[in-house]
Structure 1
Amino acid sequence: MIISRCKQLISNKLPPPSHNPKHTHFYWIDLIRFLAAFAVLASHFRGAFFVDYASLPVHQQTLPIFCFFSITRLGHEAVLIFFILSGFLVGGKSIERILNKKFRPLDYSIDRIVRIMLPLISSLLLFIPVCLWGDFPIYPKVWIGNLFSLQGIACAPVFETLWSLSYEVWFYILMCAVGYSILYKGTLKGYIGLITLIISLSVFTKLESYYLFIWFIGAFGYLLIPNKSRILKYGAMIFSLIFLIILQLSSGGSKMLISISPNFVHILEIIFCSVFCIFMVQSIQNIPSTRFSKKLNRIGTRLAAFSYTLYLTHIPVRDILVRLGAPKSQELTISSVGLYILWLSIALSIAYCIYWIFERNTSKVKIFIKSRITHKNINSNYNLQ
Structure 2
Amino acid sequence: MTHAGKQHCDTLDLIRALAAAAVCVSHLRNLMFVDYAATQGMGLAGKAFYFVSNYGHTAVIVFFVLSGYFVGGSVLRQSASGTWTWRRYLTERLSRLWIVLIPALALTLFWDRMGIALVGGPFYLGSEGNFDQTINVASHLGYSTFVCNVAFLQTLACGTFGSNGPLWSLANEFWYYLWFPACYVLFRNRRGLAVFMQGALALATMVMFPSLLSGFGLWLLGGLLAWLEQTFPRRTVRTGLPLFTLGSGVLFLGALAATRSMVFNSDWIVGVACFIFLRCVLWEDVRLKPLLLSRLAIRFSGFSYSLYLTHFPLVLFVVAVTTGHRIQLDLHGVAMFAALLAGCYAYAYAVYLLFENNTRRVQRTLAQLHLMRPKAAPDAANSMRT
- What TM-score bracket applies, with the shorter chain setting the length? 0.7 to 0.9
Between the aligned partners of 2:348 and 2:324, the Cα distance in structure 1 is: 22
Residue type of the partner of 1:275?
A
Q: Does 1:78 align with 2:67?
A: no
SS at 2:84's partner residue? Answer: coil
2:192 maps to what in 1? Answer: 187
TM-score under structure 2 length normalisation = 0.80
Between the aligned partners of 1:31 and 1:141, the Cα distance in structure 2 is: 37
1:98 maps to what in 2? Answer: 79
SS at 1:150's partner residue? Answer: coil
Q: Quick check: 362-371 or 306-315, which moved more?
A: 362-371
Between the aligned partners of 1:105 and 1:179, the Cα distance in structure 2 is: 13
Q: Quick check: 360-369 or 136-145, which moved more?
A: 136-145
Alignment counterpart, residue 341 of structure 1, candidates 338, 341, 360: 338
Report the CA distance between 1:311 and its aligned residue. Answer: 0.2
Residue type of the partner of 2:86?
P
Gaps of 5+ in 2: 118-137, 236-240, 375-386
Q: In 2, are the aligned partners of 1:161 and 1:311 still within 8 Å (CA)?
A: yes
Q: Does 1:360 align with 2:365?
A: no
2:286 maps to what in 1? Answer: 286
Q: In 1, are the aligned partners of 2:112 and 2:317 still within 8 Å (CA)?
A: no
SS at 2:34's partner residue? Answer: coil
Report the CA distance between 1:186 and its aligned residue. Answer: 3.6
Q: Does 1:234 align with 2:234?
A: no
Alignment counterpart, residue 38 of structure 2, candidates 51, 55, 58: 55
1:322-351: per-residue Cα shift (whole Å, max 9, x none)? 342246553332221011000011111111
**Number of residue-to-residue matches in the alignment:** 337
2:304 maps to what in 1? Answer: 307
Gaps of 5+ in 1: 1-20, 251-258, 378-385
Q: In 2, are the aligned partners of 1:114 and 1:365 still within 8 Å (CA)?
A: yes
Alignment counterpart, residue 167 of structure 1, candidates 172, 177, 183: 172
Alignment counterpart, residue 274 of structure 2, candidates 266, 273, 276: 276
Q: Quick check: 301-310 or 130-139, which moved more?
A: 130-139
Report the CA distance between 1:358 and its aligned residue. Answer: 0.9
Alignment counterpart, residue 69 of structure 2, candidates 88, 109, 123: 88
Q: In 2, are the aligned partners of 1:98 and 1:183 still within 8 Å (CA)?
A: no
Q: Quick check: 358-367 or 93-102, which moved more?
A: 93-102
Between the aligned partners of 1:234 and 1:376, the Cα distance in structure 2 is: 42
Q: Does 1:30 align with 2:13?
A: yes
Q: Does 1:149 align with 2:152?
A: yes
Between the aligned partners of 2:90 and 2:373, the Cα distance in structure 1 is: 17
Q: In 2, are the aligned partners of 1:123 and 1:316 still within 8 Å (CA)?
A: no
2:382 maps to what in 1? Answer: none
Q: In 2, are the aligned partners of 1:105 and 1:180 still within 8 Å (CA)?
A: no
Residue type of the partner of 1:44?
H
Report the CA distance between 1:103 and its aligned residue. Answer: 2.1
Q: In 2, are the aligned partners of 1:109 and 1:176 still within 8 Å (CA)?
A: no
Q: In 2, are the aligned partners of 1:306 and 1:352 still within 8 Å (CA)?
A: yes
Report the CA distance between 1:301 and its aligned residue. Answer: 0.7
Aligned pairs for 1:104-143 (under 5 A) are 104-133=85-114, 134=116, 136-137=138-139, 138-143=141-146
Q: Quick check: 308-317 or 271-280, which moved more?
A: 271-280
Report the CA distance between 1:30 and its aligned residue. Answer: 1.2
Between the aligned partners of 1:93 and 1:282, the Cα distance in structure 2 is: 20
Residue type of the partner of 1:301?
I
Residue type of the partner of 2:277?
F
Report the CA distance between 1:74 and its aligned residue. Answer: 0.8
* CA 375–75 in structure 1, closer or farther in 2 if over 3 Å, else same: closer
Report the CA distance between 1:353 and its aligned residue. Answer: 0.8
Report the CA distance between 1:298 and its aligned residue. Answer: 1.1
Residue type of the partner of 2:56?
G
Alignment counterpart, residue 220 of structure 1, candidates 220, 224, 241: 224
1:234-283: per-residue Cα shift (whole Å, max 9, x none)? 221111111211112x3xxxxxxxx33xxx633xx213212222212333
Q: In 2, are the aligned partners of 1:173 and 1:200 still within 8 Å (CA)?
A: no
Q: In 2, are the aligned partners of 1:142 and 1:157 still within 8 Å (CA)?
A: yes
Report the CA distance between 1:93 and its aligned residue. Answer: 2.9
Residue type of the partner of 1:32?
I
Q: In 1, are the aligned partners of 2:61 and 2:270 still within 8 Å (CA)?
A: no
* CA 184–233 in structure 1, closer or farther in 2 if over 3 Å, else same: closer
* CA 179–213 in structure 1, closer or farther in 2 if over 3 Å, else same: closer
Report the CA distance between 1:177 and its aligned residue. Answer: 2.1
Report the CA distance between 1:129 and its aligned residue. Answer: 1.8
RMSD (Å) for aligned C-alpha atoms: 2.6
* CA 125–371 in structure 1, closer or farther in 2 if over 3 Å, else same: same
Aligned identity (percent) is: 26
Q: In 1, are the aligned partners of 2:10 and 2:298 still within 8 Å (CA)?
A: no
Report the CA distance between 1:54 and its aligned residue. Answer: 1.2
